Amino acid sequence: MNKVFHVNKKNITVFDNFSYDIQEGSFLSIVGPSGCGKSTLLKLVSGLEMPTDGQIVFDGQAIAGPPKGMIYVFQQYTKSIFPWYTVIENIEFGLRTQKKKISKQEARERCLQYIKLVGLEGYEDYYPSQLSGGMQQRVVIARALICEPKVLLMDEPFSAVDAMTRAILQELLLEIWQKLDITILFVTHDVEEAVFLSSHIISLGKAPIGLKEEMLVTLPYPRDQIETRKNKHFTSMQHQLFESIFSQEKGHL
Ligand SMILES: Nc1ncnc2c1ncn2[C@@H]1O[C@H](COP(=O)(O)OP(=O)(O)OP(=O)(O)O)[C@@H](O)[C@H]1O
């Protein structure tokens, strides 16, 4: 697959002959230096951008637009939840996008089930402005999951929350991933986050290098913020990724 943007009469080649097979059920993080094409790759997979040449195949079909079964969670969660809706109404909005006919009672029960899954029980009738950043991000995650996606695409979803909330949300996301058996594609700048969460990591080189490194993260699941970080492989994988990205960032400054 190739992806070239045309800006001000110039061509920007982001991917040149890029190819990668995503394993169903994996937790794949995409890391790499700034501007290497991480978000573009997610947009290509989600059908929000189309490749200039080649194709992206999902469920045996070339993607020609946002496919059913994939949900995109953006970084700026405050912009993607409705401030005039309560928690439960925001989550119900996810159900309505599915266009399946279900009764009011069933819709409420399903919303409550996902509210429980993300640990927001008791906050059903709160408005986003009455919630912390981490809680708002939970609403976004619940709204995405209620659509029962096969693939969840997340572009730096935790970058705007504080370190402790991020650690809690990371554990929550792993629990959900294991419970629901979905595939997650996760863009992050943070190599520690990538190693903690992922079963697979791809490191992209400065465009248009494409795939620079592929890493299988063999740390056992379930992972734990305290125990997993003590594992010596955790530290060595983190160093390896950091070195690879930092050397490219530095070379370009
Ligand atoms: N819609 C667009 N039109 C033109 N150029 C674009 C567009 N989207 C992305 N690009 C260019 O493609 C390249 C890759 O951008 P992308 O946002 O995918 O990188 P990234 O790795 O996610 O960056 P960062 O880590 O800084 O968020 C950049 O040079 C960017 O300017």
What domain count does the chain have? Answer: 2
The answer, yes or no, to whether any atom of ligand 1 lies below 6 A from the CB of 40, is yes
Contacts of 13 (CB under 8 A, 6+ apart): 2, 3, 4, 207, 208
Inter-residue contact 233 to 196 (CB < 8 Å): no
pLDDT in tens, 29-52: 999 999 999 999 999 999 999 999
CA distance 137 to 142: 9
pLDDT in tens, 161-191: 889 989 998 999 999 999 998 999 999 999 9
CA distance 60 to 76: 31
Residue 75 — pLDDT band, cuts 50, 70, 90? confident
pLDDT in tens, 80-111: 899 999 999 999 988 887 767 888 899 999 99
Least confidently predicted of 99-103, 235-239, 244-248: 99-103
Residue 251 has pLDDT above 90, yes or no: no
How is residue 123 written in tokens?
């906050």
3-state secondary structure of 155: strand
- Residue of higher predicted confidence among 140 and 253: 140
Task: Report the pLDDT value the prediction gives residue 252, as an integer from 0 to 100.
Answer: 54
Is 158 among the domain residues? yes
What is the average per-residue pLDDT within 19-33?
96
Which structural domain, as residue segments, surrounds residue 201? 3-69+149-251
CA-closest candidate to residue 63, choices 178, 153, 187 = 153
Together in a domain, 143 and 240: no
Neighbours of 130 (CB within 10 A): 12
Pairing of strands 10-15, 3-7: antiparallel
Together in a domain, 178 and 233: yes
How is residue 144 written in tokens?
């995405």
CA distance 197 to 176: 12
Together in a domain, 29 and 128: no
DSSP 162: -
Task: Report the pLDDT value the prediction gives residue 253, as an integer from 0 to 100.
Answer: 47
**Which residue has 């709204």 as its token pair?**
143
Ligand 1 mutation pick, 2, 8, 38, max ligand atoms within 8 A of CB: 38
Pairing of strands 27-31, 200-205: parallel
Is 77 among the domain residues? no
Please give the number of the atom of ligand 1 that sits closest to the Cα of 156.
Answer: 27
The answer, yes or no, to whether any atom of ligand 1 lies below 6 A from the CB of 205, is no
Sign of CA dihedral 149, 150, 155, 161: positive
CA distance 221 to 25: 14
Interface confidence, given as ipTM, is 0.98
Together in a domain, 185 and 222: yes
Domain boundary residue among 100, 125, 148? 148
Together in a domain, 29 and 144: no
How is residue 16 written in tokens?
């040149």
The answer, yes or no, to whether any atom of ligand 1 lies below 6 A from the CB of 14, is yes
Gap from CA of 37 to ligand 1 centroid (Å) = 5
Domain boundary residue among 123, 148, 173? 148
Together in a domain, 63 and 154: yes
CA distance 52 to 186: 23
Neighbours of 229 (CB within 10 A): 16
DSSP 89: H
How is residue 47 written in tokens?
């059908």
Together in a domain, 87 and 125: yes
